[in-house]
């Protein structure tokens, strides 16, 4: 007899293990109760149907606890768009997809970081495009206009303390755990927040770069963004007192024109050139060498899982097209429709932080070569 609620117990145990990286949520007593419940259900697999039915009430309790833990694992859900519950039939299809795969190529987007409190651009009703007339800086403007660079760095300076403090959520932690177990062979993220690395993932390509690094556009000079902050402070003491809770997707904030006009932008200390965050701005291109390296990683995998991305940006969508060409099966978890829906085996229209902990891996997963 098939017992899908056993999967929920695997999920609960995964969440408990992952939550230890964050906080202890009054779980000690419930852990003991869940352990007995899991044992009971395992034994029930060989018992009568009547005994199995008696466990359904406990399953309901476990599901409610599971939702609580999943929410607690996220620091902020304010930027997650409205969505319905996760359909059981789609969840089962996704579990089958995970079971069949041995080397998963994971493609992540801003939708997974919204659960850490970082807004995105396109989410319905809560993304930047829906809530503001402001638009991200364009590469050409940053390069050609000193005023644009001054505005960008002033807003980035004030926003940096908050942006750099964001923590990975249950999705990042789950993927890091899957990598350790050998299920995930590579993660390609469109995000620049470094939350995958903070969660412990190692095999990560930051497709659009990292906001945690700064480089010179004219020479090989590089500096960690955190190390640049004291220099910016020394040059702009008038902004030390400013802070903002309203962060934008790129880690910057809104500032008055007066605050921006007084901001001093340092040049490269080696050549006097333009300092730029090590990210791919809108209107710029992902380096070809990075794209080719990602394609090679995809060719070594036997499944592609897209998480928290609408795939509207071609820099990511190209890998969906390549996977289709290679015959690699694909699935996605994203609240809204994606550009690649017609090519997917299944898309679960739910929050990643709720869905991923519901999935479990075979116990004999091995570390990928």
Site of tokens 């040049």: 267
Closest to 331 in 3D by CA, of 75, 16, 94: 94
Rounded Cα gap, residues 32 and 198, in angstroms: 30
Query: Is the distance from CB of 251 to CB of 160 less than 8 angstroms?
Result: yes
Whose CA is closest to 282, among 154, 98, 140?
A: 140
SS3 335: coil
Is residue 307 within 8 A of residue 109, CB to CB? The reply is: yes
| Cβ-contact 352, 332 below 8 angstroms | no
Catalytic status, residue 208: yes
* Residue 301 labelled as part of a binding site: no
Known binding residue 86? Answer is: no
Helices (H) and strands (E) in the chain, counts: 16, 9
CA 127 and chain centroid, separation: 15
Q: Is 219 annotated for ligand binding?
A: yes
> Catalytic: which of 8, 196, 208, 212?
208
**Nearby residues of 362 by Cβ (< 8 Å), 6 or more positions away:** 99
To the nearest 10 degrees (0 to 180), the angle between helices 288-299 and 314-326 is: 30
Q: Is 271 annotated as a binding residue?
A: yes
Q: How open is the CA angle 78-203-13, to the nearest 5 degrees?
A: 60
Locate all alpha helices (DSSP H) within the chain, ordered by sequence.
5-19, 28-44, 49-54, 56-72, 88-100, 110-113, 128-131, 139-144, 146-163, 170-180, 195-199, 225-235, 257-261, 288-299, 314-326, 352-355
Q: How far is CA 106 from the centre of its chain?
A: 11
Strand partners, 276: 215
103 half-sphere exposure, CB direction, 13 A CA radius: 13
What is the number of alpha carbons within 13 Å of residue 287 lying toward its C-beta? 10
Q: Residues within the annotated binding site?
A: 216, 219, 268, 271
Catalytic residues: 208
Q: Residues within the annotated binding site for Zn(2+)?
A: 216, 219, 268, 271
């Amino acid at each position: 007899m098939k017992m899908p609620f056993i999967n929920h117990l695997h999920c609960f145990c995964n969440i408990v293990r992952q939550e230890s990286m964050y906080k202890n949520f009054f779980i000690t007593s419930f852990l003991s109760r869940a352990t007995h419940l899991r044992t009971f259900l395992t034994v029930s697999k060989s018992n009568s149907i009547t005994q199995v039915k008696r466990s359904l009430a406990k399953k309901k309790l476990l599901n409610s606890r599971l939702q609580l833990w999943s929410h607690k694992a996220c620091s902020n859900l304010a930027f997650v768009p409205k969505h319905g519950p996760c359909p059981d039939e789609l969840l089962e299809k996704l579990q089958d997809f995970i079971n069949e795969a041995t080397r998963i190529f994971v493609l992540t987007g801003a939708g997974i970081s919204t659960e850490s409190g970082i807004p995105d651009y396109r989410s319905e009703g809560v993304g930047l495009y829906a809530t503001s007339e402001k638009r991200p800086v364009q590469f050409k403007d940053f390069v050609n206009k000193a005023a644009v660079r001054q505005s960008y760095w002033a807003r980035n300076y004030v926003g940096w303390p908050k942006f750099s403090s964001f923590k990975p959520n249950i999705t990042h932690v789950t993927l890091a755990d899957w990598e350790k177990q050998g299920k995930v062979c590579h993660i390609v993220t469109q995000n620049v927040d470094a939350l995958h690395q903070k969660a412990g993932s190692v095999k990560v390509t930051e497709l659009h770069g990292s906001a945690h690094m700064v480089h010179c556009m004219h020479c090989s000079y590089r500096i960690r963004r955190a190390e640049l902050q004291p220099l910016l402070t020394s040059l702009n003491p008038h902004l030390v007192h400013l802070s903002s809770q309203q962060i934008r997707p790129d880690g910057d904030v809104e500032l008055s024109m007066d605050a921006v006009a007084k901001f001093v932008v340092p040049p490269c200390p080696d050549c006097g050139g333009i300092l730029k965050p090590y990210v791919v701005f809108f209107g710029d291109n992902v380096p070809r060498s990075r794209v080719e390296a990602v394609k090679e990683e995809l060719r070594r995998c036997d499944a592609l899982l897209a998480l928290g991305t609408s795939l509207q940006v071609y820099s990511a969508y190209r890998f969906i097209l390549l996977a289709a060409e290679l015959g690699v099966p694909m699935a996605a978890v994203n609240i809204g429709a994606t550009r690649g829906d017609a090519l997917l085996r299944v898309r679960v229209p739910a929050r990643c932080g709720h869905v991923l902990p519901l999935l479990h891996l075979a116990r004999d997963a091995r570390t990928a070569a």
